[in-house]
Amino acid sequence: VMQQTGRDDLSIETDGGILHASLADGGEITVDMGPVATGWRAVPLAHEVDTLHVPLGVAGLGEAVCHSLGNPHAVVFVDDAEAVDLARLGPLVEHAPLFPDRVNLSVVSQRGDGAFMMRVWERGAGITIACGTGACATLVAAARRGIIGREADIVLDGGVLNITWREDDDRIIMRGPSTAVFSGSMTLPDQVRARP
In our burial notation (b when 16+ CB lie closer than 10 A, e otherwise), range 88-99 reads ebbebbbebebb
Listed residue (88, 83, 80) closest to 121, CA to CA: 88
pLDDT at 196: 55
pLDDT at 29: 93
pLDDT at 193: 57
Whether 110 and 79 have beta carbons less than 8 Å apart is answered as no
Instruction: Walk along the chain (196 residues) in steps of 10 and give the mean pLDDT of each run.
Output: 87 85 90 95 98 94 95 97 97 97 98 96 96 97 96 96 95 90 82 58
pLDDT at 184: 87
pTM exceeds cut of 0.85: yes
pLDDT at 192: 61
Instruction: Please enumerate, as own/partner, the contacts of 99-103 that have beta carbons within 8 Å and a separation of 24 or more.
Output: 99/43, 99/44, 99/45, 99/46, 99/72, 99/74, 100/44, 100/45, 100/46, 101/44, 101/72, 102/72, 103/43, 103/66, 103/72, 103/73, 103/74
Whether 97 and 57 have beta carbons less than 8 Å apart is answered as no
pLDDT at 187: 87
